[in-house]
Amino acid sequence: MSVIKRFDPELFNIIQREIQREVSTLELIASENFASYAVLEAAGGVMTNKYAEGYPGKRYYGGCEHVDEAENLARARLRKLFNAGYANVQPHSGSQANMAALMTFINIGDTVMGLDLAHGGHLTHGSPVNFSGQLYNFVSYHVAKSTGRVDFDEVHKLAVQNKPKLIICGGSAYPRFIEFEQFREIANKVGSFLMADIAHPSGLIAAGLHPSPIPFCDVITSTTHKTLRGPRGGIIMTSEDRENPWGKTAPKSGRVKMMSELIDSAVMPGMQGGPLMHIIAAKAVAFGEALKPEFKIYARQIVDNAQSMAEEFLNRGFQLVSGGTDTHLILIDLTNKNITGKEAEDILSMAGITVNKNMVPFDKRSPFITSGIRIGTPAVTTRNMGKDEMIEIVGLIDQIISEPENLAILRRTKQCVIDLCRSFPLYEEFHE
């Protein structure tokens, strides 16, 4: 950091302000976490210098022997972590992983089913403003109004009616277990491929705290941050490698290509060029960390913290979508609190508590306003906070939301947040 300070003080000051923001605020955005210092070190290391288009042993550039080792290590650790037969660690993001998976298994214009964005899905699961909704014929399924959980009667009905080529399960604001087995049963009935997007619960799955998609899904995608606590990036996995079902052959030998070859080709050269070798190295670090016994303890605390928060929110009269959580994520419907999601996000931010506005199922407000907020516990758990702190944080949120115009409460809350963060320091390595 001292080098940046000497040569680019303007950027150095921006970075310092971001460090200060992270260490002095409560990060409750469910999709965010704090990577370890080891991950940060790898992500900022010399492997950023190396161009390595292609895959280990089959690069389009020379001098790749060591980045090949790093990528092979990342792939091996990822396969072990999820008990996967095949893994690709090159996608730059979860969205690009999803794009590559769709490019592999279906054709443009094919019918696909995914969870509606307003009901907890993701942009890449068929939103009309996203490539997925523009290139494919997406049919959205929903959660049941009475339960806030996936309406499998509707999923079955829509699948029978539309005969999708592929069904996506998973989402970005779904607080319950993903029911992979039930999706598999429906996919089998209509002859669909099944794709799992486990971007949010991936760390919990790795720790054995969430059902695994491996036995049930044809392809699995994820990010590497969030509950997995790695650098920002994407991955693709399958339970096993096998010959592709369409009979696609290698042009020279005529042999039937393996699925791994098709997925690899969809990633590169299909949708991106050179992989980010420094990020792949950082992924290897994160996967190694997740393989250690202490990661299971950490993941367990993430879930325990989320459930403690959910219980306290319910005790204070908040409405939770699905009535609680199985994971790291809580979706709060603020309709009965006379405040919009945007208003809550803004006022909580002023108090040093970071959340994001989020639509709730059957929301009558726009995505820019919303009726809800989404809260997650990975980042505060990384700071070693536990049940007592979760209850305290809910109390602080309740105070702010109950009296959003009370500046005295706002000031007191902000000081409480600062004091709490000081008691659970973050990134002390930056101050050594």
The residues carrying an active-site annotation are 51, 53, 197, 223, 226, 232
Residue 181: C-alpha distances to residues 196, 214, 218 (Å): 11, 10, 12
Residue 182: what residue type? Q
The CA distance from 201 to 299, in Å, is 10
Is beta strand 353-354 parallel, antiparallel or unpaired with respect to 26-27?
Answer: parallel
Residue carrying structure tokens 């930056």: 430
CB atoms within 10 A of CB 57: 10
Q: CB-based contacts of 89: which residues, under 8 Å, 6+ apart?
A: 71, 74, 75, 78, 233, 235, 280, 283, 284
| 340 membership: H or E segment, kind and range | none
Give kind and range of the element (H or E) at residue 366.
Answer: none
Query: Residue 244: what are its φ and ψ, rounded to 5°?
Result: -70, 145
Would you state the structure tokens that stand for residue 67, as one six-digit string?
A: 């980045």
3-state secondary structure of 256: strand
E strands, 7-136, where? 26-27, 54-55, 58-59, 86-88, 111-115
> Which CA distances in Å does 339 have to 29, 145, 348, 372?
19, 21, 12, 9
**Cβ-based neighbour number of residue 429 at 10 Å:** 11
- DSSP string covering 42-75: HHTSGGGG----EETTEESSSS-HHHHHHHHHHH
| 112/106 Cα distance (integer angstroms) | 9
Q: 358: which 2 tokens?
A: 């989020």
**Distance, CA of 370 to CA of 359 (rounded, Å):** 5
Decide if 324 contacts 314 (C-beta within 8 A).
yes
CB atoms within 10 A of CB 18: 10
